[in-house]
Amino acid sequence: MNPLLDFTGLPRFAEIKPEHVAPAIEQLLAENRALIARLLADNAPPTWQDFIVPMENANERLSRAWGPVGHLNAVMNSPELREVYNATLPKITQYYAELGQNLALFEKFKALRNGPEFAGLSAARKKIIENELRDFRLGGAELPEDKKQRYLEIQERLAELSSRFSDNLLDATNDYTLVIESKNELSGLPEDVLQAAHEAAQAANKSGWLFTLKAPSYMPVMQFADNRALRETMYRAYGTRASEFGKPEWDNTALMDEIVRLRGEEASLLGFANFGELSLASKMAESPQQVAEFMRELAQRARPFAEKDLAELRGFARAELGIDDPSAELRTGLQSWDVGYASEKLREKRYAFSEQEVKQYFPEDAVLPGMFRLVETLYGLQIKLSRAPVWHDDVRFLDIRDAQGQLAGQFYLDLYARNSKRGGAWMDDVITRRRVQMTEDRGQKTDVLCAATRHAYNKRRGAAATAPLSSVPCPLSSVIQTPVAYLNCNFSPPVGGKPAVFTHDEVITLFHEFGHGLHHLLTEVEDLAVSGINGVEWDAVELPSQFMENFCWEWDVLRGMTRHVDSGEALPRALFDKMLAAKNFQSGLQTLRQIEFSLFDMLMHSNFEAGGGKSILQLLDEVRAEVAVLIPPAFHRFPHSFSHIFSGGYAAGYYSYKWAEVLSADAYSLFEENGVLNPDVGARFRSEILAVGGSRGAMDSFSAFRGREPSIDALLRHNGLLETSGHL
């Protein structure tokens, strides 16, 4: 059996091969199209059970087959898998575009919305239907046929371009290595970083120390290396990835122009003035202008702090590091490749600790149990290691059980960087919680959903899992699917026989992604399209993840999840107090950086014409001139690696991080008022935010939890930027 067509359990990663992809997807696409044809041929008034459920079942099978393919392409990339992924992606894109443009399907949904059954449906199901009607309009269902064809062509081309953007960035990142043969050139680098670089050189049959542009290798060089020339070399290589400075076949310049142009054309076809308006049609924010005003107001609040941060950094670099000192060898002034290094030195001097010192207190085998204890305390859960087929030996699989011991969710944990894995950190869904109604076999080979229930039922009563499923009657009328998630990071793996150790920033990243995971896994919604993160407005989807970050600054949390990797001692309270004092170190600069990216993204998608008189880089320069105080050198090509908006889901939506940070900071303030480990407030957050998923509007969920609309004050206070009050 093709492992991609087995839906009775978790993906069979060890058995999935590139040659399985095309047959599985083509079979499912054919079956789904045949089902749609049957549904449209049925002249009976559509009902939830006879119209929505069959289509939901079919589309879930397709997503559960294609999901592992996309996941493996991201975490175990190979030429063979990439080729079949890129060859199949247009077929997937075409299918969903066809659904979105199918006027007959649209009419069926409208008939269901206007029919007698609608009033009696649950709020979640009503929202699903309303969302579908909106998405049909946004998907071009009402376009004339000639424009539908053009819309379909745009979707297919955008999918191709986005995939190529990601591939180019991965290839350009993996292609670069720098071997240093003299240890004298590596002064300042921590021992664990040197050991990892030495092991990387040995693995490549080279002598010395090998560095790459992967974050665990690149970031410590920029932060700790005394060798300024080395920092500049690495900075230039990192900042020019996938640009005209590298191999022509990996240059993302033309791809970016075409992506932005096609998005504008897509918006125009659908009657929007620009892609920004189209993007916001399904988000909380009302208009590109509102987003720009929000970003500019926040920039105005943060700018005085950022200017102070930069002035202090330049003064320190000049006085303490000899940078910009006419009597010193280094006369060029503070440069971008000096910022991380000088900032770390300033932090060490001002707060009397270093990131490297802190890192030794966060070994993986203390951090993970500590994070799990936190959510167990807040939400009454149990998290334990489990077993499942995985794609790499480093991957772990865990169960989440409720207070009664019932399985609530499961997740894969893939923490370490490797060449076959794209950069960054992310959560993705494997299986989504839903109630599946069991149905009789209707002439198809096997009712897979009922087969899954038989399998689970047999395991519970001790029957052999290998018994022929089709020979056992379906014992239940319905079953709740256990949600499953992927959690992916790019941390340094263990070296020297010790556990992996994380920087505090990496701990925050881990908590962030686990927050996304909990949003998916702790949902109590039983309808797929609004279960977990499904149906949640994109500018609110970061609320649970950013909310989790706050706990990384709580003594009662950290003291239970730290242990010095060598001595075994817990994090000293004095060191934690220094960390806390430094929490908002350069927060002005960091805030302006996020605003720069967000404003650039929104203006590029709302007030910019690709291929016109202004380039994407020139637009970014204008944004920086308006809001930034720290300007990178002219050779830097940040947009060429801005995966969030060119190959991810954040186009005209990168502002979501700051928008949702207002929500998350204000939500966390209720814990601050009542005790950060208060299980009663935790239960309220779980029931009003995590459990409801997309079954109601995000603002309604926030207000139900907080008792009012959000205020920006908590965000400004958490970032040390509070001067005046304001509201979203």
**Residues catalogued as catalytic:** 513
> Three-state secondary structure along 132-168?
HHHHHHHCCCCCCHHHHHHHHHHHHHHHHHHHHHHHH
Q: Residue 234's CB: how many other CB atoms inside 10 A?
A: 23
276 and 602 Cβ atoms separated by less than 8 Å: yes
Distance CA 84, CA 86 (A): 5
CA distances from 421 to 83, 167, 170, 366 (A): 16, 11, 8, 25
Among residues 401, 428, 425, 432, which one has the least CA distance to residue 412?
Answer: 428
CA distances from 311 to 316, 494, 517, 590 (A): 9, 38, 40, 15
> Three-state secondary structure along 336-405?
HHHHHHHHHHHHHHHHCCCHHHHHCCCEHHHHHHHHHHHHHHHHCCEEEEECCCCCCCCCEEEEEECCCC
**Residue 425, CB half-sphere, CA atoms under 13 Å: how many?**
25
Q: How many helices (H) and strands (E) does the chain have?
A: 27, 9
Distance CA 5, CA 452 (A): 13
Q: What DSSP letter does each residue of 545-588 carry, written as one string?
A: HHHHHGGGG-HHHHTTS---TTT-PPPPHHHHHHHHHTTTTTHH
Amino acid in the structure at residue 275: F
**At CA 338, angle to CA 332 and CA 340, rounded to 5?**
165
